[in-house]
């Protein structure tokens, strides 16, 4: 008993010495001992549709659902792995992403055969940069570069709109895949579209939009009015801008032409300014290129503009001005509170770790330190509160009270993945800024 008390007291004193609250240190310890439970490895395809990968990989959940390598999840997971000194695990994850891009011409949603129907937000270049910063392995970077070029070509060939900005979703979808998405959506929404009189063309467009919204990672949300393929999303184009700038930096290191990449980024920046910025509302919105108008939903996607350093200082102030519409006692809502027609997962009152990290890091990029710190402390406190009650980390939480009752389309799973990765990065930021 004395030994246990001594260990607890010692851990509290150590946490205080490191600038951590005791419960924050306890969550970090929980994460550190739980990483291994998220590791999987299958070097060849399996009968239950898993695609074989050359390296071990980190899945979002230590138990239950989501036992595959997911695309954009992995960027945020890797942030935490690298900060925790698990650089090899992060590199293995990126190697697997590069393998899948090289094999299929794009990175699928995850390493399941059914995920070949779509990609996810294109974070591959940013993942490579994080690993390169940790390893300084130029030979590895040289090998990764042409694979990243292949992925970029996919997005510019298969995911373009008439504006010159990118969108999600295919132009066409096979009949069997369309039927699958129509059936699934009907069950979730509790309706029979054919009995409602929808013709084949409308059903096919609906399936295209469902697939596109799944590809966005924000499945599902009110931003795109259930017409995701009609929109140029803020966060997708900000992430591609970040990828273009990363590729320019890689090109400089490797002795290649970097100007082609910076020119692409500059063109994209001007197009984003033209289509996303509403000068009257002094805010940024997704752009509906089919109907030629901006969307109306205020969302945390705007912080991707700050995270990827797209904006001028004056424009960044406009994004900062959108923060009061999204900030709550337990963190950042992914969309502003409004009377939406459906309890979307990616909307108020749900707070999601990836958008929180994009916001905190983005605010810091522009010198909004007080806002970044306040938001980071709220998120850490809320995560600790929920962990203290449940003993686990979770995929998302209620931004108003750090509780589990959230609007959702499936039960909220326990989750290490990006929840752990973001918690680590927020904790490191708070410790290092004291």
* Residue 165 near residue 232, CB atoms below 8 Å: yes
Helices 369-390 and 22-34: crossing angle, nearest 10°? 70
Within 119-170, residue ranges assigned H as helices are 124-135, 138-158
- Each as own residue / partner, the long-range contacts of residues 212-218 (CB below 8 Å, 24 or more positions apart, any chain) are 212/118, 212/167, 212/168, 212/169, 212/170, 213/168, 214/109, 214/118, 215/109, 215/118, 215/119, 215/120, 215/168, 215/169, 216/120, 216/121, 216/168, 217/72, 217/120, 217/121, 218/301, 218/334, 218/346
pLDDT score recorded for residue 174: 79
Question: Cα angle at 276 between 345 and 395, to 5 degrees?
Answer: 20
Report the alpha-carbon distance of residue 407 to residue 345 in Å, rounded: 6
Give, in order, the Cα–Cα distances in Å from 359 to each of 325, 332, 335: 14, 9, 13
Tell me the Cα Rg of the chain.
21
| pTM beyond 0.75, yes or no | yes
Report the alpha-carbon distance of residue 146 to residue 294 in Å, rounded: 35
SS3 content of the chain, % helix, strand, coil (to 5): 55, 5, 35
pLDDT score recorded for residue 19: 46
Residue 384: burial class (beta carbons within 10 Å; 0-12, 13-18, 19+)? buried
Question: Cα angle at 35 between 17 and 22, to 5 degrees?
Answer: 25
pLDDT score recorded for residue 425: 98
Mean pLDDT by 10 residues, the chain (434 residues): 36 41 91 96 96 98 90 98 98 98 98 96 98 98 98 98 97 83 79 85 91 96 97 99 99 98 98 98 98 98 98 98 97 95 91 98 98 98 94 94 72 87 98 81
């Amino acid at each position: 008993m004395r030994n246990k008390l001594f260990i607890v007291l010692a851990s509290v004193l150590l946490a205080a010495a490191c600038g951590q609250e005791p419960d924050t240190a306890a969550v970090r310890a929980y994460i550190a001992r739980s990483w291994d439970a998220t590791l999987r490895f299958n070097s060849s395809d399996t009968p239950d549709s898993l695609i074989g990968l050359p390296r071990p990989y980190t899945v979002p959940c230590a138990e239950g659902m989501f036992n595959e390598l997911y695309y954009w999840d992995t960027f945020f997971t890797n942030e935490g792995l690298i900060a925790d000194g698990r650089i090899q695990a992060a590199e293995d994850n990126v190697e697997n992403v590069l393998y899948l891009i090289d094999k299929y011409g794009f990175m699928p949603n995850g390493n399941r055969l059914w995920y070949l129907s779509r990609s996810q937000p294109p974070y591959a270049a940013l993942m490579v940069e994080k690993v390169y910063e940790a390893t300084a392995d130029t030979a590895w970077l040289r090998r990764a570069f042409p694979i990243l070029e292949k992925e970029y070509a996919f997005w510019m060939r298969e995911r373009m709109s008439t504006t010159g900005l990118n969108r999600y979703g295919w132009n066409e979808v096979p009949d069997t895949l369309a039927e699958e998405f129509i059936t699934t959506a009907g069950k979730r929404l509790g309706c029979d579209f054919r009995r409602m009189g929808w013709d084949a063309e409308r059903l096919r467009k609906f399936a295209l939009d469902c697939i596109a919204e799944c590809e966005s990672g924000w499945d599902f949300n009110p931003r795109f009015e259930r017409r995701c393929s009609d929109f140029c999303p803020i966060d997708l184009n900000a992430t591609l801008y970040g990828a273009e700038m990363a590729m320019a930096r890689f090109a400089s290191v490797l002795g290649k032409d970097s100007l082609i990449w910076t020119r692409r980024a500059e063109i994209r920046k001007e197009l984003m300014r033209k289509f996303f910025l509403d000068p009257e509302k002094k805010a940024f919105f997704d752009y509906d290129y089919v109907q030629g108008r901006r969307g109306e939903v205020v969302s945390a996607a705007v912080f991707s503009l700050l995270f990827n350093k797209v904006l001028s200082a004056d424009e960044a102030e406009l994004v900062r001005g959108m923060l009061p519409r999204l900030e709550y006692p337990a963190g950042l809502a992914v969309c502003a509170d409004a009377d939406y027609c459906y309890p979307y997962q990616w909307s108020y009152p749900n707070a999601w770790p990836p958008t929180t990290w994009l916001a905190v890091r983005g605010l810091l990029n522009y010198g909004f330190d007080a806002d970044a710190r306040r938001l980071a402390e709220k998120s850490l406190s809320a995560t600790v509160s929920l962990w203290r009650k449940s003993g686990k980390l979770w995929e998302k939480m209620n931004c108003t009270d750090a509780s589990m009752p959230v609007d959702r389309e499936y039960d909220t799973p326990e989750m290490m993945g990006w929840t752990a990765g973001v918690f680590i990065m927020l904790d490191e930021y708070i410790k290092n800024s004291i």
